[in-house]
Amino acid sequence: MVPLEPLTVAAVQLNAAADKAINIRRAEELVADAARRGARLVVLPERWTGYGSAEVVRASAERLEDGEAVAAMRGWAREHRVHLVGGSITERADASARLFNTSLAVDPGGEVVAAYRKIHLFDVDVEGRRYRESDVDDAGDEIVTVDVDGWTVGLSICYDVRFPELYRILALRGAEVLLVPAAFTAATGRAHWDLLLRARAVENQAFVVAPACWGEHPGGRHTYGHSTVLDPWGSVLDALDEGDGVVLATLDPDRLREIRATLPALAHRRPDAYRWPAPVEA
């Protein structure tokens, strides 16, 4: 096995407006900035092409085969010779009304090498506001990893971060980096964003890259921002609270190996003793 080399990653933070064309232009600027600063892996936030009301989300939907945002991402990756994970866009799966919240991984040649469709849909009531992601999207059911310069990278989206089972499976499939692009609500972000990200990093002894939308969006929604990159000890390598920008950090494979060797929690797992309750109920 070829030893891992340090990997410079960038988490892009932006405010996704109702105008898809404006969002694409702003993302293009931020991806270019990340590439100029040495990023090899650039990750966009959730719903960066359009976030807010259900009408805005539906209006941003596109097919993977010929979508405007997909073409833009492929072009940026090819132009800057970077790995690009498109946070998530709204995917129109076919001629029907079926939509998915989908994260695409694009290689430096501009080829789409993986697609992850959000498994856990945000159907909650928070501080008097009702969110029903299932009114717009279908749920995915496939867990996805992708290779980035020899690093195994696990894909997820936003609300997924509350489900540790997903991340443990990613870790057991070899993930050394966990991506959590998000449009976390301001209310839940203040309470749980940092806590959940640090938990996923520490329990899986993996780097976490979490780009986020921030600010006010159509329909009166507010997202928390606070994009961050964490190491496997749960320490912050870089972060941005508010505003459009790029969070940049270099992932050190020696740090990963040191943590996994000196506190070998993953190796101490006891799968022979773990049994799901039967039946498993919500």
Residues with catalytic annotation?
46, 118, 158
Enclosing H/E stretch for 102: strand 99-106
Q: Which residue has the tokens 């509350």?
A: 162
What is the distance between the alpha carbons of residues 172 and 268, in angstroms, rounded to a whole number? 13
Q: Is the dihedral of CA 87, 92, 93, 99 positive or negative?
A: positive
For 222-259, b/e burial (b = at least 16 CB within 10 A) is: bbbbbbbbbbbebeebbbbeeebbbbbbebbbebbeeb
Cis peptide before 218 (omega within 30 of 0): no
